Structure 1
Amino acid sequence: MRVAVVTQYFPISFQPWAGHSAYQTLRHLAQQCDLKVFYPHAVDAAGIRPASRRQRLPVDRDYRPRGVDVEYVPYPVVPVLSRPFNGWMAAAKLLPHVMRYRPDVILNYVVYPDGLAATTIAQKLKVPVVLTAIGSDLNRMSDPICASLTRSTLRRADITITVSRDLLKTALRLGSAPERSHAILNGCDTAVFRVRDMADARNQIGMSHDVEAVVYVGRFDVRKGLIELLRAAADLRMRRPGLNLYLIGDGPDKPELLEEIQKYQASGWIHLIPPCTSALVALWMSAANLVTLPSYKEGCPNVVIEALAAGRPVVATEVGGIPELMNESCGRLVAPQNVQELELALDQTLSARWNPDEISRRHNRSWKAVASDVYDCLFQAIQTRAANKLRAP
């Protein structure tokens, strides 16, 4: 089987952590079939770059994440104005590259614009296409035109995969065919994210043994509930003076976080940690008393899966696929954008006694298992297309 993957949801040179779930799945899938990623890289059309927006960083086309072949293909965009056309513009540039690869099936991550490009190319090459919705592509559609294009793209898929059962309901509501839609939950690297001794983990990263450590891992984006988290932690620290908050990541709202930290004069106990490798993230989680993800919306967040595999309790919002991953046996679920409820859940979770081994047993699904499920969907798409051809008059 030859699989062409069309997606921007994939690591690049200046964002090696991007598209983590896609990369991990594809790395294992590439061991079962011939696979190549075609990355449609948006570049500003000649002479067009508004002063209000930062210049796009150039993509290193020689960058190769371990275990996956990738080709970066630039396509021109006009900021905001070309948004409804980006899928077709990407398809036009990608088509000759994918055609030379001669795939049996096309796999995609992110329904729009990448999925529209994937379905357009698949139609030209007369091969099946499998779309993968990751969450934000269906939950946060940017405008009515893009929403309409997302719905039409879903209807054109041979198979649609979602990363949670909750997201599957959204995909079905938007037009995915029920008989051709499947929820495949994310996994994690179970060799990296496993139960470790907390004291040993703290020694390795230089964390004090006296603090109560709350860890967040992810994008610095206010929609991840970070402002509410800072306020809840500041209120809670008045009763728990040993509380320390560690925010691991980067993102567009870092200046707003720094302002909030300064407002609470909290630089001594709220720590911003740069993005780091999975192995180091696993150590931070093992060093934590709890891991938190107070997002407004989510699909099937890797950070929750990884924290549970590491045996740490989680405080997260009851949104998206999170309730499919956890319950009160391994943490607390709270309403989004509710500072008081979040503070109470953090307090209760820090006060409770948890068994790391029992928590870890709740989630031990590997990326290899995820890749196997995706392989089955790809094979099904090929077989169904072939059977339909035989039945055609």
Structure 2
Amino acid sequence: MRVAVITRYFPTSHEPWAGHSAYQTLRILAKECELKVFYPESRYPPLLTPASRAGRSIDFNHRVEGVDVEYLPYPALPAISRSLNGFSASRSILPSVRAWRPDIILNYIVYPDGDAALRVARALRIPFVVTAIGSDLNVIPDPVCGWLTRRVLRTADHTITVSGDLLKTARRLEAPLERSSAILNGCDTSIFHPDDRSAARSFLGLPPDAEAVVYVGRLDMAKGLGELIAAVAQLRERRPRLHAWIVGDGPARQQLAQAVVEHRVEDRISFVPSCSTDKVAAWMAASDLITLPSYREGCPNVVVEALASGRPVVATNVGGIPELMDDTSGRLIPARDAQALAGALDQVLSQSWQAEEIAGRHSRSWADVSRDVAEVLSRTFERSRSQK
């Protein structure tokens, strides 16, 4: 079976850590079948390039280890072409996909990528599986995109979501019950597993006696990082050894730095740039707990990786997070509540946790995810072939 993957949820030269869950799944799937990723990249006229995209052009010759990928440009206009981006992308990538002669199309991100994938699948008369990752269903920018999103979900031969909670959302948006299922994310258990905390702290240069709270992810206010800073400030006197390390990059970096100054916790919070997977594993090992106080999530990799590393997690009770953990592996709290976050951090830091016990309950690998995706692709392909 030849699988064409149409998505922007994948590493690029500019963002090598993007689309982590898709890449890890496809890297393994590519060992079992012929697979190629087609990445549609919007290109704006020089004078109309959004400020957020300035200086962020990707290398169209970029290569990714273990997965064949082709980066393809398509024309777009800021905001104006939003509802047409799926159509425009499909027109640009169709010749390349057709020349590769796939048997089935797999997609990540429902709109506009899924709309483009649906149009290509129709043109080639082959089945199409769409994967919703979270924000593509939880944050729909306008009614037209909402209509197009529902059309993709309604028309796809199968819809995959990364959590049971997101599956409910997909079905509310017209994904048929009998053609939709949830496949939770995994992690690389050869990298994320219980490891020596002292050795990890020595490697990273962290104080051996710190109460280390670690956040790993995008620097975005919707990740609840403002609440994390406020929570650290609330615990300043009660827990004098507490220190939070915020690992990652993103648009809120300056806003967060200002919040640190305003809360007078410059000596309690450190920012660390995005880093390799191996180094993320070291941060997990070095931590006393991992936190994700996000406002919304699908199936966050960081929680899966933290639990596989045997570290307790303090996270918000949103999206698929409650499907991953409970009080035996940390604490769930309401979103946008700095006081609740401070209380949960205090509780978890006061409790003794057994890393092997936490990891033993949470060891889903990317091989497990890839197997589940392969089963959906195989069933969908066979069903489509039997109907011809």
Using the size of structure 1 for normalisation, the TM-score is 0.97
Matches within 5 A, 1:165-176: 165-176=164-175
1:377 alignment partner in structure 2: 376
Q: Is the 8 A contact 2:232 2:265 kept in 1?
A: no
CA RMSD of aligned residues (A): 1.0
Please tell me the residue identity of whatever aligns with 2:24: Q
Give the corresponding residue for 2:212: 213
1:31 is aligned with what amino acid? K
Map 1:221-300 onto structure 2 (within 5 A). Answer: 221-300=220-299
Give yes or no for contact 1:43–1:56 (8 Å, CA) kept in 2. no
One-letter amino acid of the counterpart of residue 206, structure 2? M
Matches within 5 A, 1:1-393: 1-45=1-45, 47-49=47-49, 53-55=52-54, 57-389=56-388
* Deviation for aligned residue 1:387: 1.0
Question: What is the DSSP-based 3-state SS (H/G/I as helix, E as strand, rest coil) of the residue aligned with 2:167?
Answer: helix
Q: How many residues align?
A: 388
Q: What is the deviation of 1:56?
A: 5.1
For 1:111 and 1:184, the matched residues in 2 are separated by 16
| Cα distance, 1:143 vs structure 2 | 1.1
Alpha-carbon deviation of 1:204?
1.2
Unaligned runs of at least 5 residues, structure 1: none
User: Could you state the TM-score of these two structures normalised by the residue count of structure 2?
Assistant: 0.98
For residue 15 of structure 1, what is the amino acid of its counterpart? E
Matched residue of 1:200: which SS? helix
Q: Which runs of 4+ in 1 moved over 4 A?
A: none
The whole-number CA distance in structure 1 between the counterparts of 2:284 and 2:307 is 9
How many Å apart are 1:75 and its aligned residue? 0.6
Shift of 1:267: 2.4
Deviations 1:10-38, CA, capped at 9 Å, x for gaps: 00011111000000000000000000000
Q: Cα distance, 1:266 vs. partner?
A: 2.3
Match of 1:73, SS state, is strand
Q: Deviations along 1:70-98, whole A, 9 cap, x unmatched? A: 00000111001100000000000010010
State the identity %. 54
One-letter code aligned to 1:32: E
User: Which deviations, in whole Å up to 9, do the C-alpha atoms of 1:248-294 show, x marking residues without a partner?
Assistant: 00001111001011212322221100001111001101100000000
The one-letter amino acid of 1:122's match is A
Give per-residue Cα distances to partners, 1:97-144, cap 9 Å, x unaligned: 100000000000000000000000000000000000000000011111
Offset, 1:53: 4.9
Counterpart-to-counterpart distance in 1, 2:52 and 2:31: 40
Deviation at 1:238, TM superposition (A): 1.9
Q: Secondary structure at the match of 1:62?
A: coil
For the residue of structure 1 that corresponds to 2:137, the secondary structure is: helix
